[in-house]
């Protein structure tokens, strides 16, 4: 077992939970122990919050890691991984913390190092600020992983909105295939593709809210966009979501708007539409969120990868820097922050 610790300073880069999650995944994948200091130093509430603690404890469970500092508010954690163990896992965040982000910590170790299929269920928030929505996770994120050869399926059994959460995400992960590289330079449209506005209304909110979201989206995007409303009247918390789902590329893209108290339905729709149009007008095939999420699996793929993204984000740059601490493989990001750019991963 490796004895040299990798030290991660959480005040560097974007200074959020991504550094923790990616480092935990990389530690499990490489067998290299990691120590964290100044966890989430740039956030209004530094240290581990519920979803970050869930990520630490979940990562430890799948590999029987030795951990210190795993408690709410902690800014120092040490993590020494053991061998990955496939199995049936259930993790409860206990708040509306993002289930997707806990899954991001676990999926690649179970996919690449597991001895058999795994089932992962996570209870918490499925639609939250600063996290992939349930629709993005089950459509775009899994779409890319399946295109790379990963056998993974994700579904949202029930939605969970702020502040009560109570949603349930379920993932089935089957190891056994080598991941393939990804080359994407242009936005290639399929002849059967379409653009859809999906409006989700949770709790006791009236369906008319979702209908207004759909109308606003179609008014802005034109007749080529279709729309539908899905109701979840028994959700623990009320919530409203707009998703522009673009099925015209080789992997579908999803752009997300989240409702809030006092926020008009039209503004929720505009949030998703604006993000979609900003991406679409660049002609780049990979959206900004997928750009950083693709890095981790691609550094373990066999062969070189290259893709163009509609915007370079601080998350992407932080992901690049964290990967270099664990893996000796060339990862290059070309372009300016906030502008279209290119990602290159050497063979």
Q: Are 66 and 80 in contact (CB under 8 A)?
A: yes
Burial of 61 (0-12, 13-18, 19+ CB in 10 A): middle
Q: Which two structure tokens, joined as six digits, stand for 61?
A: 């469970």
Pairing of strands 225-232, 195-202: parallel
Q: Are 167 and 158 in contact (CB under 8 A)?
A: yes
Q: What are phi and psi of 170, to 5 degrees?
A: -130, 135
The Cα 75–Cα 69 span in angstroms is 8
How large is the greatest C-alpha to C-alpha distance in the chain, in angstroms? 60
Q: Is 315 a catalytic residue?
A: yes
Catalytic residue among 52, 104, 127, 315: 315
CA distances from 54 to 49, 91, 270, 277 (A): 9, 7, 33, 35
Give catalytic residue positions: 315
């Amino acid at each position: 077992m490796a004895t040299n610790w990798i030290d991660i300073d959480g005040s560097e880069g974007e200074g959020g939970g991504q550094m923790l999650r990616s480092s935990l995944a990389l530690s499990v994948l490489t067998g290299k122990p990691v120590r964290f200091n100044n966890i989430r130093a740039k956030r209004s509430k530094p240290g581990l919050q519920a979803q970050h603690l869930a990520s630490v404890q979940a990562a430890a469970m799948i590999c029987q890691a030795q951990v210190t500092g795993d408690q709410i508010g902690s800014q120092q954690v040490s993590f020494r991984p053991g061998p990955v163990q496939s199995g049936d896992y259930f993790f409860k965040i206990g708040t509306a913390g993002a289930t997707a982000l806990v899954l991001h910590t676990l999926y690649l170790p179970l996919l690449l190092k597991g001895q058999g299929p795994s089932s992962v269920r996570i209870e918490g928030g499925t639609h939250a600020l600063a996290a992939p929505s349930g629709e993005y996770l089950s459509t775009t994120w899994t779409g890319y992983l399946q295109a790379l050869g990963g056998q993974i399926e994700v579904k949202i059994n029930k939605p969970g909105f702020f502040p009560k959460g109570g949603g349930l995400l379920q993932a089935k992960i089957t190891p056994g295939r080598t991941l393939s590289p990804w080359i994407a330079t242009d936005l290639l449209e399929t002849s059967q593709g379409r653009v859809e506005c999906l409006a989700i209304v949770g709790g006791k909110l009236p369906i008319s809210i979702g209908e207004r979201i759909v109308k606003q989206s179609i008014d802005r995007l034109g007749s080529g966009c279709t729309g539908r409303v899905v109701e979840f009247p028994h959700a623990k918390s009320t919530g409203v979501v707009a998703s522009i789902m673009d099925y015209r590329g080789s992997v579908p893209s999803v752009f997300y708007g989240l409702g809030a108290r006092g926020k008009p339905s039209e503004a929720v729709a505009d949030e998703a539409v604006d993000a979609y149009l900003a991406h679409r007008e660049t002609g780049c095939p990979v959206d900004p969120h997928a750009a950083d999420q693709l890095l981790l699996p691609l550094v373990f793929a066999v062969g070189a990868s290259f893709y163009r993204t509609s915007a370079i984000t601080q998350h992407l740059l932080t992901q690049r820097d964290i990967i270099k601490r664990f893996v000796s493989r060339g990862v290059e990001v070309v372009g300016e922050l906030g502008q279209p750019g290119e990602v290159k991963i050497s063979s």
